[in-house]
Amino acid sequence: MMKKIMVLLMMMIVAVGAKSMEADKLYYALRDKVMKVKDYTADVKIKIDVNYMRIPEVKGKLFYKAPDKMRLERNGGLSVLPKKNINMTLSNLMPTGTVTALDAGSETISGKRTRIIKVIPDGESNIVLAKLWIDEGALTVLKTETTTKDQGMILMNLEYGAYSAYGLPTKVLVSMDVKEYKLPQGVAMDYNDPMEVKQKPKDGKPRKGTIQLTYLKYDINTGLSDNVFKKPSK
């Protein structure tokens, strides 16, 4: 009897060790897939919602080039996004370099069973911890919860369609804290349309803000020039 118990314990230890290794492999495979997208141009709709501010929906083209270049060309005007866009793209919410990946259970999202892994960068990184809900069969991320040094907690929910083979979503909902009446760096954009400002919070506490991006069409890995992302001369 004791021998059987010992064998079972050894099998459990081996299974846990194998699962931990699989978490690392799963993360690196996912990251490799996402990082294969070097650039894209996408027709988008962007809706920003802050509880004390109503901002008109933005439509236009979004230009992206790895690792951190992004520009929005609005219908009826130009708007350049700042360099730090960690809260706008999945690739910037995934730690680079070597990491420690740990299994953290599973959860069903929109009818799909996902495997949850926690990812901790081994080296210096703005990302402290990334928690990913992964559809293993499709090798896509349906949800992220990322803790960063300069922007706090960033939550992202993703939906996929025709471009899932590239790991590119058709819809993204980003949620984060908004402090002192200002949108976080990387979210604020130049608006020609007036913003309706509601009653401002007076207690100084963070408020939740969301960005919803709908991607209508992608052109992927076309070799975008860096000139696309230069600020227009005045």
For 4-35, how does the pLDDT look when each residue is reduced to its tens digit (9 = 90+)? 444 344 444 444 444 444 899 999 999 999 99
Do the domain assignments include residue 219?
Answer: yes
Number of domain units in the chain: 1
Do the domain assignments include residue 13?
Answer: yes
The CATH number for 180's domain is 2.50.20
Do the domain assignments include residue 187?
Answer: yes
Nearby residues of 169 by Cβ (< 8 Å), 6 or more positions away: 90, 140, 158, 159, 160, 163, 215
φ, ψ (nearest 5 deg) of residue 23: -60, -45
Do the domain assignments include residue 234?
Answer: no
In angstroms, rounded to a whole number, what is the distance separating the alpha carbons of residues 61 and 152?
28
Average pLDDT, the chain: 79
* Token pair recorded at residue 157: 């929910």
In angstroms, rounded to a whole number, what is the distance separating the alpha carbons of residues 225 and 56?
30
159: region left, alpha or beta (phi > 0 left; psi from -120 to 50 alpha): beta
The residue segments making up the domain with residue 73 are 2-229
Do the domain assignments include residue 160?
Answer: yes
What is the pLDDT averaged over residues 81-89? 56
Do the domain assignments include residue 29?
Answer: yes
pTM of the predicted model as reported, rounded to 2 decimal places: 0.78
